[in-house]
Amino acid sequence: MTRTDQLTDSRTTSGRTVLISGASIAGPALAFWLNRYGYAVTVVERAGTVRSGGYPIDVRGTALEVVRRMGLLPRLRDAHIDLRRLTFLEGDGSEVASVHPHAVTGGVEGKDLEVRRGDLTDALHGAVRDDVEFVFGDSIDTLDQSGSGVDVTFSGGRERTFDMVFGADGAHSRTREEVFGPEVQFHRHLGYCFAVFTMRNTFGLSHETVMWNTPGRAAALYAVGDDDEVHAFLNFAAPEPPFDTFADPDRQRDLVTAIFANAGWEVPNMLAALREADDVFFDGVSQIRMPRWSSGRVALVGDAAYAPSFLTGQGSSLALVGAYMLAGSLAGRDHTAGFAAYENGTREFVAVNQGLVGSGGATLFPTTAEALERRNAGLRDLSAMPPAQARPAHSALTLPEFRPMRGGTIDRG
C-alpha cells in the first residue's frame, strides 16, 4: 500500500512499526527486508517523488548477492551500462592513455554492474511500493525517545510513534544530526570538492569517459550510451571543505567557475552549461565515520552512517549490504540486540571498503605537476595491460542467510 498524502498508524500482526527516513537506495532496500520480516514499514522522503536520473553508480561484490536475493538482478543486468573506454588527457587536450574502465576501478568484466542511479532507485521502489507506506514531500522534524517508542514530529506537523526509526537520508543526514549531533564530528574531508550535472552531448562520445587534468583540477565527460546528454564532472582540490557554499547554488557555480577560469579543452563549454543546468549536484569529497551507528531505538544505514566517498566506488554497494544486514540482524531480536548484531556483522566490511580511498584521490586527481606526471606514466603502462580483477574489499563479506520462519522466529543459516 502506497500513500503519499497522509501519515496513518498501520500495524502488522507483529505489532512492530518502523519509520525510515530516505527513499533513495538504503531506505527502500531496508524497507524491503524489514517488510519481509514482519515489520509495518513507513518511508518518509523529503522529495515529492522517487528521484530519477542522476549519475551512474556501481553495484559490485557482496551487493550483487543482495540484489539477487531481492529478485532484481535480471532487471539491473538489462540496465547495465557498457562503458568501454576511459581516456585521460593532458592539460593541452592531447591524449595520455586510453584504458578499459575496469583497469582503474578494479571491476570484473561481465559480473559487476554499472547502472544509472535512477534505474536502481526505480527498481528498489518498485520492489516494495505495494507492501509499505511511502510518504513523499515530508520529513522528520524532531525525535523523542523518552517513552517506550520513538515519538516523531514531521515537518508537515503530524505526530506519530514508532518502535524504531532509521536514518537512510544520506551523508548530510538530518536524522543523524537530531540524534547524534552536528555532522562536523563525523565528517572526514578528503581534500576535494566536485560538481556533477548534465549537458548536451556535442562531443560525439559514446559508452566512454574522457577526463582532462591539470594539477588540482579535473574535468570529465561521461557518455553512458549514445544519448543526447552526457554527465559533466568538475573536481578540484580543496584543503578545507567550503561549508558556507554547500547550501548556496549560486556560490557553488561562482566557486567552480573561478577555480576553472582559463582552463583548456572543453572546460569553457562545461562552465557555460553549469550556469544553465538545473540538476547540479555539488559537494565535498568526504567520508562519514562514526564510533556507533545506533542510539536507543534509532539506527543509521548507508551514507548516513558510513559514506565511503565516490573515490571508493562503493557507496551504493555499502548501502545495499548495510540494509540487508540491519534488517536481518533485527529479525527475531529486540532493538538493542539487533543493533549490536548489525554493527558486529557489518563494521569490518565497511572499514575495509572505506579504506579503499587510500591514495585513490591523489592517484586519480593529482594536486602537483610531479604527481600528475607519475600518474600519467602509470596510465601509459596500464594501457598495455588487461583489466584488473576486483579488489577483495568488494566481496569481503559473505552474506548470512536470514530466513523468515513460522511463528515469528528466524533461522540464521
Euclidean distance between CA atoms 171 and 288, whole angstroms = 7
pLDDT reported for residue 247: 87
- 40-45 and 133-136 strand pairing: parallel
* Calpha distance 364→43 (Å, rounded): 37
* pLDDT band, very low/low/confident/very high, at 384 (cuts 50, 70, 90): low
**CA-CA distance, 355 to 300, in Å (whole number)?**
20
pLDDT in tens, 153-169: 999 999 999 999 999 99
Which band of pLDDT confidence, cut at 50, 70 and 90, is reported for residue 241?
confident
Average pLDDT, the chain: 89
Predicted pLDDT of residue 4: 41
With a pLDDT cut of 70, the percent of the chain lying above it is: 89
Is the model's pLDDT at 307 over the cut of 90? yes
Q: Confidence band (pLDDT; 50, 70, 90) for 53?
A: confident
pTM for the whole thing? 0.90
Is the pLDDT assigned to residue 296 strictly greater than 50?
yes
β-bridge pairing 159-162 and 164-167: unpaired
pLDDT band of 194, cuts 50, 70, 90: very high
- What pLDDT is recorded for position 102? 72
- Give the Å distances, CA to CA, from 97 to 42, 171, 208, 340, 372: 49, 34, 13, 48, 13
pLDDT at 386 over 80: no
Query: How far, in whole angstroms, is CA 54 from its chain's centroid?
Result: 11
38-47 pLDDT, tens digit per residue, is 999 999 999 9
Confidence of residue 109 (pLDDT cuts 50, 70, 90): low
Burial tier of 175 (Cβ tally within 10 Å: 0-12, 13-18, 19+): buried
| Matching residue, cell 531496508 | 30
* pLDDT bracket for residue 258 (50, 70, 90): very high
Mean pLDDT of 216-221: 97
Average pLDDT score over residue span 300-322: 96
Task: Name the pairing type of β-strands 281-288 and 294-295.
Answer: unpaired
Q: How many CA atoms lie within 13 A of 362 on its CB side?
A: 8
Q: What is the spatial distance between Cα 176 and Cα 58, in angstroms, rounded to a whole number?
A: 25
Percent of the chain with pLDDT over 90: 75
Q: Where are the alpha helices (DSSP H) in 129-189?
A: 174-180
CA angle, residues 10, 12, 17, in degrees to nearest 5 = 65
- How would residue 6 be classed by pLDDT, with cut points 50, 70 and 90? very low
Angstrom distance (rounded) from CA 16 to CA 165:
11
Instruction: Report pLDDT digits (tens) over 343-365.
Output: 999 999 999 999 988 655 567 89
Give the mean model confidence (pLDDT) for residues 288-294.
98
pLDDT confidence tier of residue 55, bands split at 50, 70 and 90: confident
Q: Is residue 237 within 8 Å of residue 284, measured between CB atoms?
A: no
Q: pLDDT at position 110, please?
A: 65
- The answer to whether 304 and 26 have CB atoms below 8 angstroms apart is yes
Report which of 2, 18, 31, 4 is spatially closest to residue 319, judged by C-alpha positions. Answer: 31
Q: How far apart are CA 59 and CA 341, in angstroms?
A: 24
298 contacts 166 by C-beta, under 8 angstroms: yes
Instruction: Report the chain's C-alpha Rg in angstroms.
Output: 22
What was the pLDDT predicted at 390? 52
Task: Please name which of 298, 407, 328, 340 lies closest in space to residue 34, comparing C-alpha atoms.
Answer: 328
pLDDT at 10 over 60: no
Is pLDDT of 104 > 80?
Answer: no
Considering only residues 106 and 226, tell me which one the structure prediction assigns the higher pLDDT. Answer: 226
**pLDDT tier at 383, thresholds 50, 70, 90:** low
Return the biggest CA–CA distance within the chain.
68
Cβ atoms of 84 and 99 closer than 8 Å: no
Can you tell me the distance from the alpha carbon of 206 to that of 85, in angstroms, rounded to the nearest whole number?
Answer: 9
pLDDT average, residue stretch 307-319:
94
Q: 221-225, 324-328, 333-337: lowest mean pLDDT where?
A: 221-225
**Segment 114-152, tens digit of pLDDT:** 999 999 999 999 999 999 999 999 999 999 998 899 999
pLDDT value at 309 more than 60: yes
Selected residue with higher pLDDT from 394 and 388: 394
Q: Look at the chain and count its residues.
A: 413
